[in-house]
Structure 1
Amino acid sequence: MEITDLTPAERRVWQAFSLGEGVDFRDGAVDDPSAGASWGPERTVRAQVLRTLLIDGPARDGEIAGLKLAGARITGRLDLTYGTIDHPIRLRSCHFEHAPHLYGAQIRALVLSDSVLPGLSAATLRVDGVLRMTGCRIAGPVRLQGVKITGAFFVNKAHLGRPAAPGHAMTPSTSDHEAAEEPILQLNHAEIGTDVWAVGLVAHGQIRLDAATVGGQVNLEDAHLRAPGGTALQAETLSVGTHLHGLRLRADGQVVLDGAHVPRLLNLSHAQLSNPDGEALRATSCLVGELWLREATTIVGAVDLRRAQFDLLHVLPDVWPAQVGVDGLNYRTLAPHLPAEQRLPLLEREAGGYLPNGYEQLTTAYRAVGDDAAARTVQLAKLRRHRRTLPWYARFWGRLQDVTVGYGFRPLRAVGWLSILLLIGAVAFTLDHPRAVKPDEAPDFTPVVYTIDLLLPVINFGQESAFAPRGWHQWLAYLLIATGWVLATTVAAGVTRSLNRQ
């Protein structure tokens, strides 16, 4: 392109490029790039001019060339496919007529802050620096699959996609709606050297981070992800160097973190997760240091944490919805510390029914902080839950153990039962002494000792064998003997379980 073909606005950009100077077409008043389609020729630059500058623009000795442009209307399509650009690109507050094509390009740095674009196609882009899209308004998909950015990716306060029509819910993709259902931000298989900053991001559609690698943190604080009835955040096997922050995150749609690796903190404090007709949060087989749901609202929709591993779970019981998958869930510590009775209802919400692993995990967490009483409460609840899965005769025996000594976890109950039976037996046999089997050899009859002899099978004071009750006293003796054996058996079973645990 010859220099004589340039408009006055383009000539300004051309002359500033070789000096690395900026050109700002903004007039200082309220200057909204969303109205850029109406901007006149005095601030219009053809995309072809920018392409020529970036690929083969003029340079001056001793100067660092670069494209620095603000407040321009860019017509045509900026196509840098497979191009190698040795200059930084800064296009702030610009209005793009067409979505730029940067597929496979290599760029020093790319800044599109506060610009308005119909979309961006930049899969496998290489950026030796930062990619900054802070405050952008992008109506169509942002395709950044497989990008490699040595620095950070900024998309703070950006608005991506268009709001769905009232009453419209996203549905799984079909051939008729494939374009409409394409993720609005695609970072799958991306490699980000430092951080992803998306504070205050508003996205109407899915954000995809599958198999992405982020050297630092992902920050979604105050972000609003809207994909009602669909998937708001898809981040399977995402690998983060430090934290994933979602403080005050609002997600209307499913959040998927299956297989994600977050070694430090996954912070969803004060978050609002909602997907009423499906799963609101799915984080199966993920490996996370700490999961915080402090002061989060009650999750609307199911939660699936099967086979996930956490060092710490900081969540109050009222945050969990009616259905939570916890089969294979592993954690070391629960916070805040609460009575076992407040934690146990979660284990009843597993769709798969009775799963002993959940009770064992909760028991281990209480023992880790030295709360043995809570640990015993959890184990007792486990046995009661298991009892429901047994045939009737086993349920009867289990209920008998429960009522008498709480499956061995409530040994003082045995003392209470024995005291009551001892009192009944002592009174009954005091009123009517049983006859001696051998009157000449029998010891003096002692009602209390005789009752103890009947009740405790391992103790023999010689009273039981020396005297034989008659009538209803004989049936009372049979009852005391049988009850004593039941109490002894259940206490022995409880002691055995306790020793096995230790």
Structure 2
Amino acid sequence: MADFGVLSPAEKKVLAAVRMGKEAAIGSARPTAETAGNMVRGDFIRFLLLGGDDSAPVHEDGVRVCGAWIKGEISLRYAKVCSLRFRNCVLDSKLKLGDSEIAGVLFLPGTSVPCIYAPRMRCIGSVFLKDGFKATGGVAIRNARIGGSINIKDAQFSAGGDDLAIDAGGIVVERDVSFLAGVQVVGAVDLGFSKIAGTIKCQEASFKSNHEFALSLDGAAIGGDLRFDDSTIEGELRLIGARIEGDLSLSKARLKCDLDCLSMDRARIGGDAYLLDMKTVGSIGGRGLEVAGDMSFVGAEISCDEATSINFEGVAIGRALMFHSLANPVSNINLGLAKIGAIVDDVVSWGGGTVLDGLSYGRFSGRASTRASDRIEWLKGQKAEHVGTSFRPQPWRELQRVLRESGHVEDSRQVAIELEHSKRNVGLIGATPESWAAPRRWMYRSASRFGHWMLWVLVGYGYRPVRLFAWMLGIWLAFGGYYFLMAERGVFAPADPLVFQNQDYKSCWLDGSKERANWYGCAALRDEYPGLSPLAYSLDVLLPVVNLRQEEAWGAKVPTPLSPWYRELFALDSYRLTRLAIWLQTIFGWVATLLLVAFLTGLLKRDEQAS
């Protein structure tokens, strides 16, 4: 005690108060300047914090000071003290608490300090930095251990030389950490690899930094919730690899950064993620993010000029992704390889440039549309190359599966048909190896595209099988009518030459020539010979596996081929046209029969039963 010489009036008040276990009230408000009446030396405070001596005993309640100007450094490195309670004080030099052990609390409401340097500090109780607290050169508590909570409210922090306003990496807190209304941080906050047993609550707080991040929780383990409700963050908010047992909430938060404003790569959230009414300027990253519950973007406003606005590649959301009622459509979202329990969305919230390749999801839920037209527009909103030159079929098949398993079978079929159209439009039908010669490639491609087109026309790629019966009915009636007209003109004749040349049927010949006979209306033809029925004849030709004996008994008369041979190619009289019609109907009949058999055996059901 003698080393301090003559004590100042303020120091005498402190000495008297610590003997009685009371607060030394030097002033009620934080001083604006040093005076003889408020100055207390830092060494003197240190002396008392360490227990004083016989001439300056310290009560077990420790040192409590209010309204003092503490001059000089307070260094308590490796020291063990009771509590630090400075209310509305000014410390004009560093408060050094590195490797110290505080048996009580660190209580600094309304106090101004250039810097708190307390790496590896052990504080049994809580830390209070509130009610106008101000740190102009940063707070360094890296790898500290706090037995209670960290309570920060109505406080100001500015960065030190390393651009860190709060350096709390690796800190362990047994209860909660809070940044509440009035907190203003200019500089980066590092809570990377910290362990917080309770909740981190940032509400109506402001963080601004020109550092590589504004607030980092990379690798942090949080036993409760992580909340940034109504807070403003200018700079990157990093949650890379963080483990959050409770919810993540950014409701009504405002995030702004030139690049990534929110990074959540490989983070794990044990509850829900609420980004309700959040406003962001910058991209959102979440590659490999895991959310056990729901993730909601309802009401969010996301603005980004980057190539990817939301990068959720490989994300896993256990329940629902709620992506509806956004303030603006969001373009360039990457959901590639993501796994989502359900999607609750509206189509208008999705902008263009979406990546859906590899996305798997269980169903559409809530207000989400299951209309094929809406979901097809959703798929067409993918990146241009994914619906063009580098076509991705997986999102279409996944949508088919989800709609079908949800009971929307017809919508699933419409998606399947649109997939086939898209494959044709981008040139996937008839694709060949580059090693093939050009003529061979052209022939293969042409044949494949024609066959694919016929498959659409006849059976809707296998998803409209009833269409085949309509075609068969139309072909049967149309060709039956044509055969009737040709029969009236004498084109058809008995196939049996004994009947055709029989003189008993001269009454059927026209102008005495059997070549021009009207056998269809010949009354002299005996009853035992089957009469020509144009509709039955058409059906007999159409159905190759059915024998109505019309083709056996009747046929079209064809004149002798013309010479030279190429004249025959352009001869278009009734006889030759009727023969051509029979050939075409026979070919159609075989094609239709094979398609029908293929459908009935399941060969054309395609992805409708694929899992």
Structure 2 distance, partners of 1:481, 1:14, is: 118
Instruction: Note the C-alpha offset of 1:501.
Output: 4.5
Q: Residues 114-263 of structure 1 correspond to what in structure 2 (within 5 A)?
A: 114-118=154-158, 119-135=165-181, 136-161=183-208, 180-228=210-258, 230-263=259-292
Q: Is the 8 A contact 2:287 2:311 kept in 1?
A: yes
One of 470, 476, 481 as aligned partner of 1:422: 476
Distance 1:258 1:44, change over 3 A: farther
| 1:410 paired residue among 450, 454, 464 | 464
Matched, 1:110 2:110: no
Partner of residue 452 from structure 1, selected from 539, 554, 557 = 539
Shift of 1:418: 2.0
Distance 1:233 1:442, change over 3 A: farther
- Change in CA separation of 1:473 and 1:88 when aligned onto 2, cut-off 3 Å: same
Report what 1:358 is aligned to: 395
Contact 2:17 2:24 in 1 (8 A): no
Question: SS where residue 264 of structure 1 aligns?
Answer: coil
Which residue among 369, 372, 375 is the counterpart of 1:343?
Answer: 375
Deviation at 1:69, TM superposition (A): 3.5
Distance 2:474 2:15 in 1: 99
For 2:458, give the aligned amino acid.
T
- The answer to whether the aligner puts 1:435 opposite 2:493 as a matched pair is yes
Q: Does 1:292 align with 2:306?
A: no
Q: Deviations over 1:465-497 (max 9, x none)?
A: 332223211111122222233333444444423
How far apart in 2 are the matches of 1:91 and 1:390? Answer: 69
Q: Does the 8 Å contact 2:332/2:352 carry over to 1? A: yes
2:340–2:361 Cα contact (<8 Å) kept: yes
3-state SS, counterpart of residue 341 of structure 2: strand
* Aligned position for 1:171: none
**Cα pair 2:461 2:604 within 8 Å, conserved:** no
Given residue 171 of structure 2, which amino acid in structure 1 is its aligned partner? L
Separation in structure 2 between the aligned mates of residue 47 and residue 357 of structure 1, nearest angstrom: 70
Give the direction of change, closer, same or farther, for the CA distance of 1:245–1:47 in structure 2 (3 Å limit).
Answer: farther
The count of corresponding residues between Structure 1 and Structure 2 is 471
Structural RMSD (CA): 3.3
Alpha-carbon displacement from aligned partner over 1:309-368 (angstroms, at most 9, x marks no partner): 011011122222211111111101013242112101333324443222212211111122
1:326-337 to 2 correspondence within 5 Å? 326-335=356-365, 336-337=368-369
| 8 A Cα contact 2:282 2:306, kept in partner | no
Pick from 408, 415, 426: which aligns with 1:378?
A: 415
| SS of alignment partner, residue 257 of structure 2 | strand
Greater mean deviation of Cα atoms: 431-440 or 445-454? 431-440
Contact 2:310/2:332, CA 8 A, preserved across alignment: yes
Structure 1 alignment gaps of length 5 or more: 28-35, 163-179
CA 419–409 in structure 1, closer or farther in 2 if over 3 Å, else same:
same
Matched, 1:301 2:331: yes
Q: Report 1 or 2 for greater relative contact order, CA contacts < 8 Å, sequence distance ≥ 6.
A: 1
Task: Name the CA distance, whole Å, in 2 between partners of 1:405 and 1:270.
Answer: 44
CA contact (8 A) 1:55 1:84 kept: no
Aligned equivalent of 1:400: 454
Q: How far, CA to CA, are the matches of 2:154 and 2:310 in structure 1?
A: 32
**Conservation of the 8 A alpha-carbon contact between 1:404 and 1:414:** yes
Are 1:324 and 2:341 an aligned pair? no
Structure 2 length as normaliser, TM-score?
0.70
CA distance in 1 between partners of 2:316 and 2:25 (Å): 48
Aligned residue runs from structure 1 range 26-175, under 5 A? 39-40=32-33, 43=67, 52=76, 56-58=80-82, 65-72=104-111, 74-92=112-130, 93-108=132-147, 109-118=149-158, 119-135=165-181, 136-161=183-208
2: CA distance between counterparts of 1:39 and 1:192?
Answer: 39
Question: Aligned partner of 1:240: which letter?
Answer: I
Aligned match of 2:585 = 480
Which shows bigger deviation, 214-223 or 316-325? Answer: 316-325
Q: Distance in 1 between matches of 2:11 and 2:541?
A: 109
Q: For residues 284 and 337 of structure 1, what CA distance do their matches in structure 2 show?
A: 24
Cα distance, 1:376 vs. partner? 1.2
For residues 12 and 599 of structure 2, the distance between their equivalents in structure 1, rounded to whole angstroms, comes to: 87
For 1:435, the aligned partner's letter is A
How far apart in 1 are the matches of 2:313 and 2:33?
Answer: 54
> Relative to structure 1, is the Cα distance of residues 47 and 278 closer, same or farther in structure 2, using a 3 angstrom cutoff?
farther
Cα–Cα, structure 1 residues 363 and 419, in superposed 2: closer, same or farther, change >3 Å?
same
2:372 aligned partner, one-letter code: A
2:604 to 490, 497, 502: 497
TM-score in terms of structure 1 length: 0.85
Distance verdict in 2 for CA 1:396–1:499, change over 3 Å:
closer
**Structure 2: how far apart are the matches of 1:493 and 1:24?**
97
Specify every segment of 5 or more residues in structure 2 that has no aligned partner in the other structure, as ranges.
39-66, 85-102, 159-164, 431-444, 500-527, 557-574
The one-letter code matched in structure 2 to 1:111 is N
Moved more, 491-500 or 272-281: 491-500
Q: Tell me: CA distance 1:201–1:59, structure 2 relative to 1, closer, same or farther (3 Å).
A: closer
User: What fraction of aligned residue pairs are identical, expressed as a percent?
Assistant: 20
- Contact map agreement 2:370 2:411 (CA 8 A) in 1: no
Deviates more, 1:51-60 or 1:431-440: 51-60
- The Cα of 1:126 is off from its aligned counterpart by 1.2
Describe the shift of the 1:322–1:6 C-alpha distance in structure 2 as closer, same or farther (beyond 3 A). farther
Query: Which sits farther off after the overlay, 440-449 or 136-145?
Result: 440-449
For 2:531, the aligned partner's letter is D
Shift, 1:423, TM fit: 2.1
